[in-house]
Chains A and B, each alone.
Chain A
């Protein structure tokens, strides 16, 4: 089945097609090929969300995966993030969940929590 992609590496936004034989067309530059290859084989994303705290004045603190995680695991990572609770003062960059789902990525605070 033919697959369609929009390359996001520059504002041009090439519409790139990949046919059954794996032939890539529609890319203006070489970077488009690399983009599509990654998207087809091992797409990754940085996930950002919030974690609940026990503090009334700051009910939520924003977090992210410190490195991109496999795209297919996004919803599983979200579930883990939603289970976490911050119950002590923490600084920006502090780890709240280590090596989440064995991805090698940590969930870190992107905002200070009373620290």
Chain B
């Protein structure tokens, strides 16, 4: 089988990218490993999705359904229950090896790939919590799936480590299903979740949030089931302070300790990594350093709002289409977009003048909460943008657009955030 574009992943990102590329008339195949389209949205049954894109508040499954319907109306080819095992760069495109129960192993080729593989959760192993290894310690997203899709009650006495949005959402969800939620511990002195989630998931149900605390002990019983945990306050260098131990008797510890873009399929490809986003570097067309290989959604950078995923992936889908139409877009000259003061990261990482007709949508996260800031974008001595911003927080990704006509070849672009 040969396709113009293969989209890997049928969640919010893949659906939006495929629909956008199909609108341009491309021949597309979307590959999804689960038995259903919609990705992680299917288990995010809470509301608050779609305020940007639809100007309405939807639940995750409702938001997914909007795109799934449009996807089917667009008559795009797709495979469910199918896993991509390997990608090879070949002349004029890519060769993909996929596997499914129905078809077995199969080879397909395409001119362009859109990676929309999402992200995975960090586990206990990534933060090395000492103690026993009992049942009952699971990631918040897995717990969300067991509860909301499979219908299992995961536990009755719950503690949550990490105040990311999934952790907060699960605190409320478990409470509503009758569990006792004893608290949420957060290593940082501030929460990584959206304020509305702190208020409506914790404060509404009097669930305590222990800032600057972490789990330092895990105890299992003789049956190797979780029995209790110990939390401790941490100092400024995040080391536990002796004497602050507090024990909680629990049967479940949920971990909401961060998400990492899933880019394992690109391991053997000549991509350039970004240690900050834990993904790869792209130009303003969401193209990686491998020509024709595009990436978007949470596999490019972990977003806090699905609306931003959809909009970003739509842009990536259009660019992939443009790549196929032009047969190949030769990179002629590119400049870097650099993250300056107070910025954790900036995407995209490059402006490639081969794509010069395009406007550049830049997204960034700050390193800390800033009440009043001045956002400046400059190229050499030339100021491209200067804008006052208020209340910038690391938990909320910021977006702005640069007009490509302003940008010249030569020196790099610097994005800066000054505290006012």
Chain A interface residues (CB < 8 Å from chain B): 6, 8, 10-13, 45-50, 52, 59-60, 62, 64, 71, 74-75, 78, 92, 110-112
B143 within 8 A of A: no
Evaluate contact between B45 and A110: CB separation under 8 angstroms: yes
CA distance A92 to B62 in the complex (A): 8
Q: Is the Cβ of A78 less than 8 Å from the Cβ of B196?
A: no
A110 touches B198 (CB 8 A): no
Q: How far is the CB of B42 from chain A (nearest CB, A)?
A: 7
A6 neighbours in B (Cβ, 8 Å): 195, 198-199, 203
- Contact (Cβ within 8 A) B391 A49: no
Q: What residues make up the interface of B, taking CB atoms closer than 8 Å to A?
A: 42, 45-47, 57-62, 65, 147-151, 176-177, 195-196, 198-200, 203-204, 390-391, 393, 396
Q: A6-B195, A6-B199, A11-B396 are in contact. Are A62 and B45 (CB under 8 A)?
A: yes
Q: How far is the CA of A47 from the CA of B46 in the complex (A)?
A: 8
- CB within 8 A of B200: which of A8, A12, A13? A8
Residues of chain B within 8 A of A64, CB atoms compared: 45, 47, 59
CB A91 to nearest CB in B, in angstroms, measures 10
Q: How distant is the Cα of A50 from the Cα of B61 in the complex, in angstroms?
A: 12
In addition to A6-B195, A8-B200, A60-B149, 8 A-B residue pairs with Cβ atoms within 8 Å of each other are: A6-B198, A12-B390, A12-B391, A49-B176, A49-B177, A50-B151, A64-B59, A111-B62
Residues of B within 8 A of A78 (CB): 176-177
Please give me the residue from chain A that is nearest to B149 by CB atom. A60
Task: Enumerate chain A residues within 8 angstroms of B60, measured Cβ to Cβ.
Answer: 62
| Distance in angstroms between the alpha carbons of A62 and B61 in the assembled complex | 8
> Are A48's CB and B65's CB within 8 A?
no
> If the complex has contacts A52-B151, A59-B151, are A8 and B42 also in contact, measured as CB distance less than 8 A?
no
Tell which of A13, A45, A62, A71 touches B59, judged by Cβ atoms closer than 8 Å: A62
Q: List 23 A-B contacts (CB under 8 A).
A: A6-B195, A6-B198, A6-B199, A8-B199, A10-B391, A11-B391, A11-B396, A13-B195, A13-B391, A45-B204, A46-B47, A46-B57, A47-B176, A49-B176, A49-B177, A50-B45, A60-B148, A60-B151, A64-B45, A71-B204, A78-B176, A110-B58, A112-B65
Looking at B58, B62, B65, B203, the one whose CB has the most chain A CB atoms below 10 A away is B62
> CB-CB < 8 A to A110: which residues of B?
45, 58-59, 61-62
Report the separation of the CA atoms of residues A112 and B199 in the bound assembly, to the nearest whole angstrom: 30
Measured between alpha carbons, how far is A55 from B42 in the docked complex, in Å? Answer: 17
Tell whether, in the assembled complex, residue B176 and residue A8 are in contact, meaning their CB atoms are under 8 Å apart.
no
In the bound complex, what is the Cα–Cα distance between A71 and B57 (angstroms)? 18
CA distance A111 to B203 in the complex (A): 28
Residues of the A chain whose Cβ atoms lie less than 8 Å from the Cβ of B148: 50, 60, 62
Interface contact B45-A49, CB-CB below 8 Å: yes
B176→A111 contact, CB < 8 A: no
Whether A8 contacts B65 in the complex (CB less than 8 A), given A48-B59, A64-B47, comes out as no
Residues of B within 8 A of A8 (CB): 195-196, 199-200
Q: Chain A nearest CB: distance from B39 CB in Å? A: 14
A48 touches B47 (CB 8 A): yes
Kindly list chain B residues whose C-beta atoms are within 8 Å of the C-beta of A71.
204
Q: Which 5 A-B pairs have the closest CB atoms?
A: A62-B45, A60-B151, A13-B195, A8-B196, A111-B61
Contact indicator B393/A11 (Cβ below 8 Å): yes
How many angstroms between the C-alpha atoms of A49 and B396 in the bound complex?
Answer: 26
CB < 8 Å neighbour of A48 from B45, B149, B391: B45
**Closest B residue by C-beta to A53:** B151
B176 touching A74 by the CB < 8 A rule?
yes
Q: How far is the CB of A104 from chain B (nearest CB, A)?
A: 18
B195: contacting residue among A11, A45, A59, CB under 8 A: A11
- Contact present for B195 and A48 (CB under 8 Å): no
Q: With A and B bound together, what is the CA distance between A46 and B204 in angstroms?
A: 13
Complex Cα distance A1/B65, Å?
46
Report Cα–Cα, A41/B59, bound state, in Å: 26
Distance (whole angstroms) from the CB of A34 to the closest CB of chain B: 15
B150:A59 contact, CB within 8 angstroms: yes
Contact A111 B391 (CB under 8 A): no
Which residues of A lie under 8 Å from residue B150 when comparing CB positions? 59-60
User: Roughly how many angstroms separate A47 CA and B177 CA in the complex, as a whole number?
Assistant: 12
Minimum C-beta distance from B196 to chain A (A): 4
